[in-house]
Chains A and B, each alone.
Chain A
Amino acid sequence: MIEVKNLGKQYTNGFVALDNINLSVKKGEILALLGPNGAGKTTLISTICGIVNPTSGSVTVGGFDIIKDYRKTRSLIGLVPQELTTDAFETPWNNLRLSRGLFGLPKNPQMVEKILKDLSLWDKKDDRIMTLSGGMKRRLLIAKALVHEPQVLFLDEPTAGVDVALRQDMWRMVDDLRKQGVTIILTTHYIEEAEAIADRIGVISGGKLLLVEDKQLLMSRMGQKQLKVELMESLDALPTVLAEQGFVLAEDSLSIVYHYGKDAPEVDIAGLLQSVASAGLGVKDIHTQKSSLEEIFVDLVERAA
């Protein structure tokens, strides 16, 4: 659905916001873009939507070039910007009518009504936008993007500053849209959300796309598990038997840790514990944990920097 080839953007002050980005997004998938602040996520989205002119490379949406066939590509795209940019003095109703008009679509009061109701904004339709709460403004921006029936939806940090209940509503809506075949690209700071909702995950840092991978693959490739055994008493040196089996002594010398890959061949946990017991170590607690997307992400970004 979207093909980004060698895309680059250098601002007039010399800042390179995008550095040779290559990305391909399939129809109907949800791609989450992760990256620290200022990584280039918004610039990438803005370029695809036509708000920022690229300095090099090309982008096609639905097979059409975003510069040559901008009318075709833009009518496929809905954008929910990161900032709460609204016409403070207008009403939601008029604002949605403007959005439909801008995209060259005829008036459709039923549709506007349905979207306003879906996003629980119906009773606010004739109020000035400046009187709406932050969460309502966020929903209005989503309504504005949906009202022209996009095939591709960009959500630029849609849940920033949104409370938990609303956030869950929003993800339910994203799920509904996916079922209708809408392609969704979102950026978020909440990594657990990307983990929960996305099909694929892309990591951007310093204008470079570090990787794009299937979420499951990424987690199994990059993810690690560890078995941590907390000891009753601190240990000066690790018994050789345990060191040979792969245990390492933690820095606080109060626990020993065994690392293994998530998809590693069967690990004999019972055997490991038996060795610990036969080495005469008193065990206070044991737990295993797998590295989360968050750890993978931090690891990647730090390695790139």
Chain B
Amino acid sequence: MNVRGMWAIYCFEMSRTKRTITQSIVSPVLSTVLYFVVFGGAIGSRIESVDGISYGAFIVPGLIMLSIMTQSLSNASFGIYFPRFSGTIYEVLSAPMSFWEATAGYVGAAATKALLIGLITLATAGLFVPIEIAHPFWMLAFLILTTITFSLFGFLIGIWADGFEKLQLIPLLVVTPMVFLGGAFYSIDMLPSAWQTVTMFNPVVYLISGFRWSFYEISDVSVGVSLMMVTLFMGICLALIGWIFKTGYRLKQ
């Protein structure tokens, strides 16, 4: 195994984060604070508590999920798309490393960055509302699993995209609505029952529900199901990457 190669890609990607610190870390934190002020402060003060949790505190896990999902996607998709676009990918393809190792380097860096942003968001939210975390281990586990899964997903988008527009297409048209409708800002049982059934087909519901459970021990679906769904989604992404590795799709023609 070419551990040095993986580490080289990881460090190279992380140095990109350092170079673009403002857009990488500061702006997602700022937008989360804005969400918090609007939904948690202004609107939230008129909403009664949800399942015994104040609305401001209720939306914290959803907000963190929203930011780590979008960040994982955009970091990972840009991370692999840019070298494809500029042509520097030739060096990775001709290096003595397997495609899995290269993937680990890129996805690891994207997930690390998203995880950092998630933790910073959590700390920022802590300034607005008191936050208690019932299961810190599971909180971290959900955080890490989600960043890795969505980074894998973003990596796939970055390989599939053949233009900068496509890079934005899936995150904007599919993922953002899924996250918003996945219960980031409400509890599923606040919906009419017909919509509750529809919502169950949204994979993000399971992630947010599981993550919120690790904070407040309240959830829309059981934690086991949540974990299963994350694992399933990750499995699908890994299978697709395996297929790309085998066929050379979009990378080796």
| Contacts A87-B88, A94-B12, A106-B4 given; does A77 touch B94 at CB 8 Å | yes
Q: Is the CB of B88 within 8 A of A52?
A: no
- Complex Cα gap A38–B51 (Å): 67
| Contacts A101-B5, A101-B8 given; does A74 touch B253 at CB 8 Å | no
- Complex Cα gap A52–B90 (Å): 10
Apart from A50-B252, A53-B253, A98-B11, list 4 A-B contacts with CB within 8 A.
A46-B90, A53-B248, A74-B94, A86-B86
Near B by CB (< 8 A), chain A positions 60-99 give 70-75, 77, 79, 81, 83, 85-90, 94, 97-99
Q: Mark B1-38, 1 if CB is under 8 A from A, else 0.
A: 01111011101100110010000000000000000000
For the complex, is A144 an interface residue (Cβ under 8 Å from B)?
Answer: yes
Q: Is the CB of B94 within 8 A of A71?
A: no
A99 closest partner in B (C-beta): B91
Q: How far is the CB of B21 from chain A (nearest CB, A)?
A: 13
- Complex Cα gap A77–B93 (Å): 12
**3 A-B pairs with least C-beta separation:** A101-B8, A85-B87, A102-B95
For the complex, is A12 an interface residue (Cβ under 8 Å from B)?
Answer: yes
Q: Is the CB of A75 within 8 A of B96?
A: yes
Residue of B4, B83, B92, B95 with most chain A CB atoms under a 10 A cut-off: B95
- A: contact size bracket: 35 or more
- Complex Cα gap A31–B24 (Å): 47
Q: Is the CB of A50 within 8 A of B94?
A: yes
Interface of B is mostly: helix
Q: Identify the A interface with B (CB < 8 A).
A: 11-12, 46, 49-53, 70-75, 77, 79, 81, 83, 85-90, 94, 97-106, 144
- Complex Cα gap A166–B98 (Å): 36
- Complex Cα gap A52–B9 (Å): 21
List the A side residues contacting B4 at CB < 8 Å: 101, 104-106
Q: Is the CB of A51 within 8 A of B90?
A: yes
The answer, among B86, B93, B95, B248, for a CB contact under 8 Å with A87, is B86
- B: contact size bracket: 20 to 34
List the B side residues contacting A104 at CB < 8 Å: 2-5, 96-97
Near A by CB (< 8 A), chain B positions 196-232 give none
The answer, among B9, B252, B253, for a CB contact under 8 Å with A102, is B9
Q: Is the CB of A102 within 8 A of B91?
A: yes
The answer, among A71, A79, A88, for a CB contact under 8 Å with B90, is A79
- Complex Cα gap A188–B95 (Å): 24
List the B side residues contacting A50 at CB < 8 Å: 93-94, 252
Q: How far is the CB of B15 from chain A (nearest CB, A)?
A: 7
Q: Is the CB of A103 within 8 A of B253?
A: no
| Contacts A85-B87, A102-B5 given; does A52 touch B95 at CB 8 Å | no
Q: Is the CB of B8 within 8 A of A144?
A: no
Near A by CB (< 8 A), chain B positions 78-114 give 83, 86-88, 90-98
Q: Mark B56-89, 1 if CB is under 8 A from A, else 0.
A: 0000000000000000000000000001001110
25 example contacts (A-B, Cβ-Cβ < 8 A) are as follows A49-B90, A49-B94, A51-B94, A53-B248, A70-B96, A71-B96, A74-B95, A75-B96, A81-B90, A85-B86, A86-B88, A89-B19, A90-B15, A94-B12, A98-B8, A98-B11, A98-B12, A101-B4, A101-B7, A101-B9, A102-B97, A103-B5, A103-B95, A104-B4, A104-B97
- Complex Cα gap A101–B8 (Å): 5
Q: How far is the CB of B5 from chain A (nearest CB, A)?
A: 5
List the A side residues contacting B90 at CB < 8 Å: 46, 49, 51, 79, 81, 85
List the B side residues contacting A75 at CB < 8 Å: 96
Q: Is the CB of B12 within 8 A of A52?
A: no
Q: How far is the CB of B8 from chain A (nearest CB, A)?
A: 2
Q: Is the CB of B15 within 8 A of A71?
A: no
List the A side residues contacting B11 at CB < 8 Å: 98, 101
- Complex Cα gap A86–B91 (Å): 10
